[in-house]
Structure 1
Amino acid sequence: MQSNDARIIRGAAIPTAVVGVLAVAIGAVTAGVDGAGGVALGVLVAAVFFAGGQLSLGYVGRRWPETFFGAAFLIYTTQMGFLLGLLLLLRDASFLDGRAFAAGVLAGTAAWLGGQVRAHGKLKTLYVEPESTSASPGGRP
Protein backbone atom coordinates (compact mmCIF):
# COMPACT_ATOMS: atom_id res chain seq x y z
CA MET A 1 0.00 0.00 0.00
CA GLN A 2 1.36 3.39 -0.94
CA SER A 3 1.56 6.09 1.69
CA ASN A 4 -1.04 8.21 -0.14
CA ASP A 5 -3.51 5.32 -0.05
CA ALA A 6 -2.91 4.88 3.67
CA ARG A 7 -3.42 8.60 4.30
CA ILE A 8 -6.65 8.64 2.32
CA ILE A 9 -8.02 5.59 4.11
CA ARG A 10 -7.00 6.95 7.50
CA GLY A 11 -8.41 10.37 6.64
CA ALA A 12 -11.75 8.77 5.80
CA ALA A 13 -11.86 6.07 8.48
CA ILE A 14 -11.38 8.37 11.46
CA PRO A 15 -14.37 10.65 10.75
CA THR A 16 -16.44 7.60 9.83
CA ALA A 17 -15.66 6.01 13.18
CA VAL A 18 -16.58 9.21 15.04
CA VAL A 19 -19.84 9.56 13.12
CA GLY A 20 -20.49 5.85 13.67
CA VAL A 21 -20.19 6.14 17.44
CA LEU A 22 -22.53 9.13 17.49
CA ALA A 23 -24.99 7.40 15.15
CA VAL A 24 -25.02 4.23 17.28
CA ALA A 25 -25.81 6.33 20.35
CA ILE A 26 -28.65 8.06 18.50
CA GLY A 27 -29.90 4.71 17.19
CA ALA A 28 -29.88 3.26 20.69
CA VAL A 29 -31.89 6.18 22.07
CA THR A 30 -34.44 6.22 19.25
CA ALA A 31 -34.86 2.51 18.45
CA GLY A 32 -33.25 0.58 21.30
CA VAL A 33 -30.80 -2.28 20.92
CA ASP A 34 -32.07 -3.24 17.44
CA GLY A 35 -31.57 0.36 16.29
CA ALA A 36 -28.05 0.53 17.68
CA GLY A 37 -27.17 -2.77 16.03
CA GLY A 38 -28.67 -1.68 12.74
CA VAL A 39 -26.79 1.61 12.70
CA ALA A 40 -23.52 -0.07 13.69
CA LEU A 41 -23.87 -2.65 10.94
CA GLY A 42 -24.79 0.05 8.41
CA VAL A 43 -21.75 2.19 9.22
CA LEU A 44 -19.51 -0.88 9.18
CA VAL A 45 -20.85 -1.95 5.77
CA ALA A 46 -20.21 1.52 4.33
CA ALA A 47 -16.67 1.69 5.74
CA VAL A 48 -15.74 -1.81 4.56
CA PHE A 49 -17.12 -1.21 1.07
CA PHE A 50 -15.33 2.09 0.59
CA ALA A 51 -12.05 0.91 2.13
CA GLY A 52 -12.11 -2.24 0.01
CA GLY A 53 -12.74 -0.21 -3.12
CA GLN A 54 -9.91 2.21 -2.31
CA LEU A 55 -7.46 -0.61 -1.64
CA SER A 56 -8.48 -2.43 -4.82
CA LEU A 57 -8.16 0.68 -6.96
CA GLY A 58 -4.78 1.47 -5.44
CA TYR A 59 -3.54 -2.01 -6.29
CA VAL A 60 -4.85 -1.89 -9.86
CA GLY A 61 -3.51 1.64 -10.35
CA ARG A 62 0.00 0.58 -9.38
CA ARG A 63 -0.02 -2.76 -11.17
CA TRP A 64 -2.00 -2.03 -14.35
CA PRO A 65 -2.50 1.75 -14.69
CA GLU A 66 -3.83 1.42 -18.25
CA THR A 67 -6.87 -0.53 -16.96
CA PHE A 68 -7.68 1.84 -14.09
CA PHE A 69 -11.02 3.20 -15.31
CA GLY A 70 -12.30 -0.19 -16.40
CA ALA A 71 -11.28 -1.66 -13.07
CA ALA A 72 -12.96 1.22 -11.23
CA PHE A 73 -16.22 0.47 -13.06
CA LEU A 74 -15.91 -3.26 -12.36
CA ILE A 75 -15.13 -2.71 -8.67
CA TYR A 76 -18.06 -0.30 -8.30
CA THR A 77 -20.56 -2.61 -9.98
CA THR A 78 -19.30 -5.56 -7.93
CA GLN A 79 -19.71 -3.55 -4.74
CA MET A 80 -23.26 -2.58 -5.69
CA GLY A 81 -24.05 -6.23 -6.43
CA PHE A 82 -22.74 -7.29 -3.02
CA LEU A 83 -24.70 -4.49 -1.37
CA LEU A 84 -27.88 -5.58 -3.14
CA GLY A 85 -27.28 -9.16 -2.01
CA LEU A 86 -26.66 -8.02 1.56
CA LEU A 87 -29.82 -5.92 1.58
CA LEU A 88 -31.85 -8.83 0.24
CA LEU A 89 -30.31 -11.13 2.83
CA LEU A 90 -31.06 -8.75 5.72
CA ARG A 91 -34.48 -7.49 4.62
CA ASP A 92 -36.36 -9.77 7.04
CA ALA A 93 -33.72 -9.84 9.78
CA SER A 94 -35.34 -9.70 13.19
CA PHE A 95 -32.15 -8.68 14.99
CA LEU A 96 -31.86 -5.19 13.48
CA ASP A 97 -34.03 -2.22 12.62
CA GLY A 98 -34.15 -1.71 8.85
CA ARG A 99 -34.51 2.07 9.04
CA ALA A 100 -31.61 2.31 11.47
CA PHE A 101 -29.51 0.15 9.14
CA ALA A 102 -30.30 2.45 6.20
CA ALA A 103 -29.50 5.50 8.32
CA GLY A 104 -26.19 3.91 9.33
CA VAL A 105 -25.26 3.22 5.71
CA LEU A 106 -26.12 6.81 4.76
CA ALA A 107 -24.25 8.30 7.74
CA GLY A 108 -21.21 6.09 7.11
CA THR A 109 -21.22 6.91 3.41
CA ALA A 110 -21.46 10.66 4.00
CA ALA A 111 -18.71 10.60 6.62
CA TRP A 112 -16.43 8.41 4.49
CA LEU A 113 -16.85 10.54 1.37
CA GLY A 114 -16.36 13.77 3.32
CA GLY A 115 -13.19 12.43 4.93
CA GLN A 116 -11.94 11.09 1.61
CA VAL A 117 -12.47 14.42 -0.15
CA ARG A 118 -10.68 16.23 2.67
CA ALA A 119 -7.78 13.76 2.60
CA HIS A 120 -7.45 14.05 -1.18
CA GLY A 121 -7.45 17.83 -0.91
CA LYS A 122 -4.60 17.79 1.60
CA LEU A 123 -2.37 15.47 -0.44
CA LYS A 124 0.31 16.85 -2.66
CA THR A 125 -0.05 14.45 -5.58
CA LEU A 126 2.07 14.86 -8.69
CA TYR A 127 0.01 14.49 -11.83
CA VAL A 128 3.03 14.53 -14.14
CA GLU A 129 6.23 12.61 -13.57
CA PRO A 130 9.03 15.19 -13.23
CA GLU A 131 12.02 14.74 -15.50
CA SER A 132 15.26 13.67 -13.98
CA THR A 133 17.95 16.39 -13.98
CA SER A 134 20.69 13.84 -14.71
CA ALA A 135 19.28 12.76 -18.06
CA SER A 136 17.53 15.01 -20.52
CA PRO A 137 15.77 14.17 -23.79
CA GLY A 138 18.11 13.45 -26.65
CA GLY A 139 20.88 12.16 -24.40
CA ARG A 140 22.33 15.61 -23.60
CA PRO A 141 23.33 16.31 -19.99
Structure 2
Amino acid sequence: MPSNDARTLLQAVVPTAAAGVIAAVISGVVAGGKGAVGALVGALVVIVFMGLGQLVLIRTAKSLPQLFQAMGLMLYVAQLLLLLIFVAVFKDTTLFNPKAFAIALVVSTVVWMAAQARAHMKAKIFYIDPESAPGSKGSGTSERDEKTGSSS
Protein backbone atom coordinates (compact mmCIF):
# COMPACT_ATOMS: atom_id res chain seq x y z
CA MET A 1 0.00 0.00 0.00
CA PRO A 2 1.51 3.36 -1.01
CA SER A 3 2.25 5.75 1.82
CA ASN A 4 -0.45 8.18 0.66
CA ASP A 5 -3.13 5.48 0.93
CA ALA A 6 -1.85 4.32 4.30
CA ARG A 7 -1.78 7.91 5.54
CA THR A 8 -5.38 8.49 4.44
CA LEU A 9 -6.49 5.28 6.12
CA LEU A 10 -4.65 6.15 9.32
CA GLN A 11 -6.12 9.67 9.35
CA ALA A 12 -9.60 8.12 9.35
CA VAL A 13 -8.93 5.29 11.82
CA VAL A 14 -7.38 7.39 14.60
CA PRO A 15 -10.24 9.91 15.03
CA THR A 16 -12.79 7.11 14.77
CA ALA A 17 -11.04 5.10 17.46
CA ALA A 18 -10.85 8.21 19.65
CA ALA A 19 -14.57 8.83 19.13
CA GLY A 20 -15.21 5.18 20.06
CA VAL A 21 -13.25 5.54 23.29
CA ILE A 22 -15.11 8.76 24.17
CA ALA A 23 -18.43 7.06 23.36
CA ALA A 24 -17.43 4.09 25.54
CA VAL A 25 -16.60 6.36 28.48
CA ILE A 26 -19.86 8.28 28.15
CA SER A 27 -21.85 5.08 27.68
CA GLY A 28 -20.09 3.51 30.64
CA VAL A 29 -21.09 6.42 32.85
CA VAL A 30 -24.68 6.52 31.56
CA ALA A 31 -25.45 2.82 31.00
CA GLY A 32 -22.79 0.98 32.97
CA GLY A 33 -20.41 -1.72 31.77
CA LYS A 34 -22.75 -3.05 29.11
CA GLY A 35 -23.03 0.45 27.66
CA ALA A 36 -19.26 0.76 27.42
CA VAL A 37 -18.99 -2.64 25.74
CA GLY A 38 -21.78 -1.72 23.30
CA ALA A 39 -20.06 1.52 22.35
CA LEU A 40 -16.71 -0.21 21.85
CA VAL A 41 -18.29 -2.92 19.70
CA GLY A 42 -20.08 -0.26 17.64
CA ALA A 43 -16.89 1.69 17.02
CA LEU A 44 -14.97 -1.50 16.20
CA VAL A 45 -17.61 -2.57 13.67
CA VAL A 46 -17.37 0.81 11.95
CA ILE A 47 -13.56 0.71 11.85
CA VAL A 48 -13.55 -2.79 10.39
CA PHE A 49 -16.30 -2.14 7.81
CA MET A 50 -15.03 1.24 6.68
CA GLY A 51 -11.39 0.12 6.74
CA LEU A 52 -12.12 -2.89 4.56
CA GLY A 53 -14.13 -0.67 2.25
CA GLN A 54 -11.23 1.75 1.96
CA LEU A 55 -8.87 -1.10 1.11
CA VAL A 56 -11.30 -2.32 -1.58
CA LEU A 57 -11.42 1.18 -3.05
CA ILE A 58 -7.63 1.42 -3.07
CA ARG A 59 -7.36 -1.87 -4.95
CA THR A 60 -10.13 -0.84 -7.36
CA ALA A 61 -8.40 2.46 -8.10
CA LYS A 62 -5.22 0.62 -9.04
CA SER A 63 -6.73 -2.16 -11.14
CA LEU A 64 -9.90 -0.59 -12.60
CA PRO A 65 -9.67 3.21 -12.32
CA GLN A 66 -12.66 3.72 -14.61
CA LEU A 67 -14.90 2.01 -12.00
CA PHE A 68 -13.54 3.93 -9.01
CA GLN A 69 -16.38 6.44 -8.58
CA ALA A 70 -19.17 3.93 -9.16
CA MET A 71 -17.49 1.45 -6.84
CA GLY A 72 -17.11 4.10 -4.15
CA LEU A 73 -20.79 5.03 -4.28
CA MET A 74 -21.90 1.41 -4.28
CA LEU A 75 -19.54 0.56 -1.45
CA TYR A 76 -20.76 3.37 0.82
CA VAL A 77 -24.39 2.45 0.24
CA ALA A 78 -23.60 -1.21 0.98
CA GLN A 79 -21.66 -0.26 4.13
CA LEU A 80 -24.48 1.89 5.47
CA LEU A 81 -27.01 -0.86 4.76
CA LEU A 82 -24.81 -3.41 6.54
CA LEU A 83 -24.48 -1.11 9.53
CA LEU A 84 -28.26 -0.74 9.59
CA ILE A 85 -28.56 -4.53 9.51
CA PHE A 86 -26.11 -4.77 12.44
CA VAL A 87 -28.30 -2.39 14.46
CA ALA A 88 -31.41 -4.43 13.62
CA VAL A 89 -29.77 -7.76 14.46
CA PHE A 90 -28.37 -6.63 17.80
CA LYS A 91 -31.34 -4.54 18.95
CA ASP A 92 -32.47 -7.19 21.48
CA THR A 93 -29.08 -8.49 22.59
CA THR A 94 -28.16 -8.96 26.23
CA LEU A 95 -24.40 -8.94 25.58
CA PHE A 96 -24.27 -5.14 25.59
CA ASN A 97 -26.51 -2.09 25.63
CA PRO A 98 -28.07 -1.86 22.15
CA LYS A 99 -28.76 1.88 22.41
CA ALA A 100 -25.12 2.61 23.23
CA PHE A 101 -24.12 0.31 20.37
CA ALA A 102 -26.38 2.12 17.88
CA ILE A 103 -25.36 5.60 18.99
CA ALA A 104 -21.65 4.73 18.88
CA LEU A 105 -22.16 3.16 15.45
CA VAL A 106 -23.74 6.32 14.06
CA VAL A 107 -21.25 8.67 15.72
CA SER A 108 -18.28 6.58 14.59
CA THR A 109 -19.60 6.45 11.02
CA VAL A 110 -20.00 10.23 10.90
CA VAL A 111 -16.53 10.74 12.39
CA TRP A 112 -15.01 8.26 9.88
CA MET A 113 -16.61 10.00 6.91
CA ALA A 114 -15.62 13.48 8.12
CA ALA A 115 -12.04 12.37 8.86
CA GLN A 116 -11.78 10.65 5.49
CA ALA A 117 -13.04 13.76 3.70
CA ARG A 118 -10.58 15.93 5.62
CA ALA A 119 -7.69 13.56 4.87
CA HIS A 120 -8.55 13.56 1.19
CA MET A 121 -8.77 17.36 1.06
CA LYS A 122 -5.41 17.73 2.84
CA ALA A 123 -3.64 15.10 0.71
CA LYS A 124 -1.30 16.38 -1.92
CA ILE A 125 -2.21 14.04 -4.76
CA PHE A 126 -0.72 14.74 -8.17
CA TYR A 127 -3.25 14.95 -10.96
CA ILE A 128 -0.42 15.09 -13.49
CA ASP A 129 2.28 12.45 -13.43
CA PRO A 130 5.50 14.41 -12.67
CA GLU A 131 7.71 11.49 -13.67
CA SER A 132 6.46 11.15 -17.24
CA ALA A 133 9.04 11.77 -19.93
CA PRO A 134 8.75 14.86 -22.17
CA GLY A 135 6.85 14.05 -25.34
CA SER A 136 5.16 11.02 -23.83
CA LYS A 137 1.40 10.75 -23.75
CA GLY A 138 1.19 11.77 -20.06
CA SER A 139 3.27 14.93 -20.38
CA GLY A 140 0.36 17.26 -21.07
CA THR A 141 1.05 17.85 -24.81
CA SER A 142 -1.21 16.44 -27.46
CA GLU A 143 -0.12 14.86 -30.74
CA ARG A 144 -1.45 17.90 -32.59
CA ASP A 145 0.75 20.23 -30.53
CA GLU A 146 3.81 18.12 -31.26
CA LYS A 147 3.12 18.16 -35.03
CA THR A 148 2.53 21.90 -35.25
CA GLY A 149 5.20 22.82 -32.76
CA SER A 150 2.83 25.01 -30.79
CA SER A 151 2.74 24.97 -27.05
CA SER A 152 -0.24 25.45 -24.83
Alignment of 1:37-48 (within 5 A): 37-48=37-48
Q: Name the residue aligned to 2:57.
A: 57
How many residues are matched? 140
Greater shift in the superposed pair: 110-119 or 99-108: 110-119
Alpha-carbon displacement from aligned partner over 1:16-48 (angstroms, at most 9, x marks no partner): 112211211111110001100111111111111
Higher mean displacement: 14-23 or 110-119: 110-119
Q: Secondary structure at the match of 2:32?
A: helix
Look up the SS of the partner of 1:129 in the other structure.
coil
Percent of aligned pairs sharing the same letter: 37
Corresponding residue SS for 1:35: helix
Q: Aligned partners of 2:103 and 2:88: how far apart in 1?
A: 17
Render the CA deviation track for 1:55-81: whole Å, top value 9, x for unaligned. Answer: 111111110111223322332343234
Match of 2:27 in 1: 27
Q: Which residue of 1 aligns with 2:140?
A: none
Distance 1:67 1:4 in 2: 20
C-alpha displacement at 1:86, in angstroms?
2.1
Secondary structure of the 1:99 match is helix
**3-state SS, counterpart of residue 39 of structure 1:** helix
Which range is displaced more, 110-119 or 95-104? Answer: 110-119
Q: Deviations over 1:82-101 (max 9, x none)?
A: 32432232121111112101
What is the aligned partner in structure 2 of residue 4 from structure 1? 4
**Distance of aligned partners of 1:62 and 1:135 in 2 relative to their CA distance in 1, 3 Å threshold:** same
Does residue 78 of structure 1 match 2:66? Answer: no
- Is the contact between residue 87 and residue 102 of structure 2 (CA under 8 Å) also seen in structure 1? no
The answer for the alignment partner of 1:117 in structure 2 is: 117
Structure 2 gap segments, 5+ residues each: 137-142
CA-atom RMSD in angstroms: 2.2
**TM-score of the aligned structures, taking structure 2 as reference length:** 0.79
Return the structure number with greater relative CO, CA threshold 8 A, min gap 6.
Answer: 1
Unaligned 5+ runs, structure 1: none
SS at match of 1:21: helix
Counterpart amino acid of residue 17 in structure 2: A
Q: What is the deviation of 1:133?
A: 4.3
